[in-house]
Amino acid sequence: MKRAAKQISDSVIIMTELVLPNHTNQLGNLLGGQLMHWIDICAALSAAKHNNRVCVTASVDRIDFHHPIKLGDAVTLNASVNRVFNTSLEVGVKVYAQNFREGTKVHTNTAYLTFVAVDNNGKPVIATEAIPETADEKRRFDEALIRRENRLKTRTKTI
């Protein structure tokens, strides 16, 4: 039986959130934990869209915070599958903060998450293959393999 495949562009999810007072710290900046929550949701939707099934978070490699996000900013999260391995897949998320009054938009964060495709009983299943088409998708596809190899090298074994 041939493994199902989809284009990477079919996995794109774009989510926008407004930074409200309950999302901020004492300096009026978006709480890192709130942003991580939004990133996880956006990435999970991308993985599920690609696989037509629930995908669960297995790990978060890194979230880089480049610039603070302020109260009143619109936060746009762009997620898409970077590469599929067997039952797991890497999803990349880019985050942008936009201030409509000032007319500014800045790339604030990048995150890489690993998900596992699961069946209705929560058991891992073969994930849908991802087909990169553009030069950027091919670059992200190649870089995802390097990140996976590094992940596997540093993974600790459980007893």
Whether the per-residue pLDDT at 66 is higher than 60: the answer is: yes
Question: Looking at residue 49, what is its pLDDT?
Answer: 98
Do residues 155 and 31 make contact, with C-beta atoms less than 8 angstroms apart?
A: no
Residue at 140 is within a domain: yes
The pTM score is 0.92
Residue at 84 is within a domain: yes
112 φ/ψ angles, rounded to the nearest 5 degrees = -125, 125
Residue at 65 is within a domain: yes
CA torsion through residues 96, 102, 103, 104, sign: negative
> Looking at residue 105, which CATH number applies to its domain?
3.10.129.10
Number of domains in the chain: 1
Question: Looking at residue 8, what is its pLDDT?
Answer: 97
Tell me whether residue 134 is exposed, middle or buried, using C-beta atoms within 10 angstroms of its C-beta: 0 to 12, 13 to 18, 19 or more.
Answer: exposed
Whether the per-residue pLDDT at 1 is higher than 60: the answer is: no
Whether the per-residue pLDDT at 38 is higher than 80: the answer is: yes
Residue at 159 is within a domain: no
If one counts every other C-beta atom within 10 angstroms of the C-beta of residue 45, the result is 19
* Tokens coding 79: 């997620």
Do residues 93 and 110 make contact, with C-beta atoms less than 8 angstroms apart?
A: yes
Domain extent for 77 = 5-154
